[in-house]
């Protein structure tokens, strides 16, 4: 009896082939070759590094971390390896401050590493240290736009309202011509609804840089939000032919806000056939309902689009899950740019943690999502929910929200998801009183978007109940009285990549 042995792989070739495959679906198929190459070259840090990266891409951080630690032991002075280890430790929910500090020693001034260190400090409840670190980093890199955004958000989380975004002004004194800084400053102030401050920064930007679509659109937003439709309309008219999805979404919001849904539909029609269509679907749903367009039923009328699943028997014990989640709420205030009102939201991607309770939660949810997807209607290439293939079930984000007395979610959509969710873990005692704490779907109205359409569906929360619905569907919650409302939410990733416009 004879057997054929596969020739031993060339470690150098395996490294090259794996790097080429790393960001493709073929990467996992390289693991056997990496294992065989490691038997020949057990001290090749590159092989250990690549092994760890592949395991990380498979959400198997419990396997990725030992491989990355071994790579770091063999090559302690390689910045890329040090960064990979720090990031994976942080994603897994393990202490990572020291690992990020080590990576920053190897790559001083690396703003990506500094942002990671900030997340690691937040996880350890060291918010003051995170703020101080960002302040030092921005002194060295004043044009680091993301850093200013992070610092503003942290100051807001800590309750600072006056001057929370002052670092932008400090940087613009040094670099007045930096349009990216000006853009993010304006967006940050808009999120805080500080409209006078927005107008002053727009005026300053025009004095420095002259006319720009950025200034026209954002001034139009201010006048639209504050009740001056004529001034807003004249500014939006300037950009009507500009091929910028985010600008046109804001124009559509303005038209809907002031009772012109047919004009809004006319603006949206070409965009609904574009790669940026996702950002327009929530407004199409609203406009079509306002005008009685039969496409409204096609878009969101099928009852199978929404799923309600009571899965407490699949989950870890809810009291244990609640304790695990509460420990992850490390900030004391509501985030600046999310829908949370009167509560806190966890930082980072919840489902990347390797805590066994969270892993069990994630896999129970994945199983339920697969069941939900299997019940959807047949594929429809023009429909934002039905156009995509049905596998794989992966998550583009996951988090926990803890609301206190009077808390709620303002109506919103999720621009980076395909299917979104609410899973109820702990509920306040007054849920039997009217609609307190209930989930409302299909209701677009917010304080800044006064569209008087009722919800298409109201969902009663219960411990262990999971609600699934299209990510483009408006959703929010009713306020409740005393007590705590602890939930898990997530976005199922679009199975095929798609262009997405930012949420307006």
* pLDDT given for residue 502 in this prediction: 38
From CA 504, how far away is CA 250, in angstroms rounded? Answer: 7
The yes-or-no verdict on residue 487 having pLDDT over 70 is yes
Query: Could you report the per-residue pLDDT of 264-298, keeping only the tens digit for each?
Result: 999 999 999 999 999 999 999 999 999 999 999 99
Residue 9: pLDDT above 90? no
Scanning 159-226, the segments in alpha helix (DSSP H) are: 166-174, 179-191, 195-209, 213-225
Q: Where are the domains of the chain?
A: 211-300, 303-492
Cα 184 to chain centroid distance, Å, stands at 17
Spell out a b/e string for 81-99, using b for 16 or more CB atoms within 10 Å of the CB, else e. Answer: bbbbbbbbbbbbbbebbeb
- Looking only at the bridges linking them, the beta strands covering 485-492 and 457-459 are unpaired
3-state secondary structure of 397: strand
The pLDDT assigned to 468 comes to 98
Q: What pLDDT is attached to residue 503?
A: 34
**Percent share of the chain, pLDDT over 70:** 95
Q: Read off the pLDDT of each residue in 487-502 and give the average, rounded to a whole number.
A: 73
DSSP 125: T
pLDDT value of residue 334: 74
Fold of 303-492: Jelly Rolls (2.60.120)
Q: How remote is the C-alpha of 391 from its chain's centroid? A: 21
Spatial distance between the Cα atoms of 301 and 145, rounded to a whole number of angstroms: 42
Q: What is the pLDDT of residues 427-457, one digit of tens each?
A: 988 665 678 889 999 999 987 888 989 999 9
Smallest CA-to-CA distance from 114 within 89, 150, 88 is with 150
pLDDT tens-place string over residues 29-63: 999 999 999 999 999 999 999 999 999 998 899 99
- What pLDDT score was predicted for residue 433? 67
Domain 211-300 identical in fold to domain 303-492: no
**For residue 105, what are its two tokens?**
């020693």
Rounded to 5 degrees, what are φ and ψ at 359?
A: -60, -45
Distance set, CA 393 to CA 366, 404, 475 (Å): 7, 32, 22
Query: Are 464 and 319 in contact, with CB atoms under 8 Å apart?
Result: no
At 87-117, the pLDDT tens digits run 999 999 999 999 999 999 999 999 999 999 9
For residue 91, the SS3 value is helix
The pLDDT tens digits of the residues spanning 172-213 come to 999 999 999 999 999 999 999 999 999 999 999 999 999 999
Check the CA dihedral 220-223-226-228 and report its sign.
Answer: negative
Question: Over the chain, what is the mean pLDDT?
Answer: 92
Would you state the pLDDT for residue 4?
Answer: 52
Examine the pLDDT at 496 and tell me if it is beyond 80. no
Nearest partner of 55 among 45, 71, 66, judged by Cα: 66
What CATH number is given for 211-300 in this structure?
1.25.40
| Confidence tier at 5 by pLDDT (50, 70, 90) | low
Question: Per residue in 411-433, pLDDT tens?
Answer: 899 988 999 999 999 998 866 56
296-342 pLDDT tens trace: 999 999 999 999 999 999 999 999 999 999 999 988 777 776 676 77
């Amino acid at each position: 009896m004879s057997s054929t042995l596969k020739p031993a792989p060339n470690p150098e070739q395996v490294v090259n082939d794996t790097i080429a495959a790393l960001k493709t679906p073929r990467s996992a198929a390289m693991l056997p070759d990496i294992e065989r190459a490691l038997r020949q070259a057990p001290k090749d840090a590159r092989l250990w590094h690549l092994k760890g990266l592949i395991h990380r891409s498979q959400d198997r951080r419990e396997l990725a971390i030992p491989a990355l630690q071994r790579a770091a032991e063999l090559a302690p002075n390689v910045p890329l390896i040090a960064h990979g280890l720090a990031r994976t430790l942080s994603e897994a929910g393990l202490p990572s401050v020291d690992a990020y500090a080590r990576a920053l020693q190897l790559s001083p001034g690396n703003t990506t590493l500094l942002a990671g260190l900030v997340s690691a400090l937040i996880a350890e409840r060291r918010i003051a240290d995170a703020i101080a670190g960002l302040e030092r980093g921005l002194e060295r890199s004043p044009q680091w736009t993301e850093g200013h955004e992070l610092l503003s958000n942290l100051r807001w989380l800590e309750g600072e309202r006056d001057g929370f975004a002052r670092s932008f002004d400090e940087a613009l004194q040094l670099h007045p011509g930096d349009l990216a800084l000006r853009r993010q400053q304006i967006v940050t102030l808009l999120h805080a609804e500080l409209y006078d401050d927005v107008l002053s920064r727009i005026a300053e930007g025009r004095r420095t840089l002259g006319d720009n679509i950025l200034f026209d659109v954002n001034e139009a937003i201010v006048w639209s939000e504050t009740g001056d439709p004529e001034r807003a309309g004249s500014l939006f008219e300037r950009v009507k032919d500009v091929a910028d999805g985010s600008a046109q979404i804001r124009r559509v919001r303005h038209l809907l806000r002031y009772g012109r849904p047919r004009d809004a539909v006319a603006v949206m029609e070409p965009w609904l056939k574009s790669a940026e269509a996702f950002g327009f679907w929530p407004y199409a749903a609203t406009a079509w309902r306002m005008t009685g367009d039969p496409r409204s039923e096609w878009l969101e009328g099928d009852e199978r689009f929404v799923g309600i699943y009571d899965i407490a028997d699949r989950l870890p014990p809810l009291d244990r899950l609640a304790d695990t989640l509460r420990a992850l709420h490390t900030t004391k205030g509501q985030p600046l740019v999310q829908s949370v009102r009167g509560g806190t939201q966890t930082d980072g991607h919840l489902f990347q943690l390797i805590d066994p309770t969270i892993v069990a939660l994630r896999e129970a949810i994945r199983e339920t999502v697969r069941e939900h997807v299997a019940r959807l209607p047949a594929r429809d290439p023009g429909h934002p929910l039905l156009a995509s293939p049905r596998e794989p079930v992966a998550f583009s984000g996951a988090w926990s929200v803890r609301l206190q007395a009077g808390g709620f979610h303002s109506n919103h959509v999720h621009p980076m998801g395909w299917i979104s969710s609410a899973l109820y873990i702990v509920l306040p005692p007054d849920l039997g009183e009217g609609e307190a704490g209930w989930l409302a779907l299909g209701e677009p109205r917010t304080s800044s978007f006064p569209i008087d359409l009722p919800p298409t569906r109201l969902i009663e929360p219960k411990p262990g109940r999971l609600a699934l619905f299209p990510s483009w569907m408006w959703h929010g919650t009713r306020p409740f009285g005393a007590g705590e409302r602890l939930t898990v939410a997530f976005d199922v990733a679009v199975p095929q990549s798609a262009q997405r416009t930012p949420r307006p």
